[in-house]
Amino acid sequence: MPDSAAPASPTPSPGQGESARAVTPDTTRFVLLHTSHPGNVGAAARAMKVMGFADLVLVRPRFADVLAREETVAMASGAADILARARIVDSLAEALEGVSFACATAMTPRDFGPPTHAPRELLPRLAAGPHRVAFVFGSERYGMSNEEVYRCHACISVPTHPEYGSLNLSQAVQLVAYDWRQALGGFGVQPRVPDATLADGVAVQGALEHWREALVEIGFLDPAAPKKLLPRLQQLVNRAQPTAEEIHILRGIARAVQRAARKGRH
């Protein structure tokens, strides 16, 4: 099913305008233990890359050639460079070379294991420190062994529904990569639409007065018994926070209404 393996992005890259701001891939490492499904390795690479991480290490994956498998490459989509520089090693100890703080993502309780935190609780503190960090993910079926968890300095647990916490492996990688990137300061979101100039109160009142006249002219508003129509419209307009241009449009409509009403009277 190569057809469905590499869905194109629903969220295309913001484009060249932003690329002037060079971003060095973070040195954070992602370690996948004994991964069974090539698709997950590819999806994890893509999930890392969208958050600006590039260091992927696999510990004894089920398939020794997983990095070159068609399904892996298809699910990695544009993240083939992450696969190209990924390493396969024999043990978690090797995978953690050069790392000073390892976060396990095991969710089941371990006696004597490191303390468990929500990512958004631990990661900002960790980002403020001097650590070279690795995030370690267990196999799809069995998670992490006790021995693997014991090597880690903390466990992080993504808060999920108490009765259904079954996160897919690559989804877990995506959430942790996102929270870690946010903790590191995040990437910006470009306001895609330039901020419009909001209309000032005088312009709004002018438009409302214009509409009051038009509504009287077309017989919708009885000036002798106005009820609460104007205050209601006022509230509606206030909530909408119209721009200067929108007020201009509203006055244009009022003007057209008046013209039509006058024509009808002749």
Name which of residues 94 to 153 contact a copy of itself (CB under 8 A): 105-118, 120-121, 137-141, 143-144
Binding flags for a copy of itself, 39-78, as an x/- string (CB under 8 A):
xx--x--xx-xxxx------------------x-----xx
CB 125, min distance to a copy of itself, A: 14
Task: Give SS3 for 99.
Answer: coil
Amino acid at 165: G
Closest CA to 34 of 140, 105, 119: 140
As a whole number of angstroms, the longest Cα–Cα distance in the chain is: 92
Q: How far is the CB of 15 from a copy of itself (least distance, A)?
A: 8
Nearer CB in complex with a copy of itself: 37/251? 37
Site for a copy of itself in 205-224 (CB under 8 A): none
Where residue 57 falls (left for φ over 0; alpha for ψ -120 to 50; beta otherwise) is beta
CA 136, CA 33: separation in Å to the nearest integer?
7
11 contributes a contact to a copy of itself by CB under 8 A: yes
Least separation in angstroms between residue 265's CB and a copy of itself is 35
- In a 3-state reduction of DSSP, which class is residue 104? strand
Smallest separation (angstroms) from a copy of itself to the CB of 16: 9
Q: Which range in 127-135, 189-197, 204-212, 256-264 contacts a copy of itself by CB under 8 A?
A: 189-197
**What is the spatial distance between Cα 18 and Cα 20, in angstroms, rounded to a whole number?**
5
CB 257, min distance to a copy of itself, A: 23
Q: Residue 228 corresponds to which amino acid?
A: K
Binding a copy of itself (rule: CB under 8 A), the pick from 129, 130, 147, 189 is 189
Contact status, residue 157 vs residue 122, Cβ threshold 8 Å:
no
Asked whether position 265 contacts a copy of itself by CB under 8 A, the answer is no
Q: How many CA atoms lie within 13 A of 183 on its CB side?
A: 21
Query: Binding to a copy of itself by residue 186, rule CB under 8 A?
Result: yes
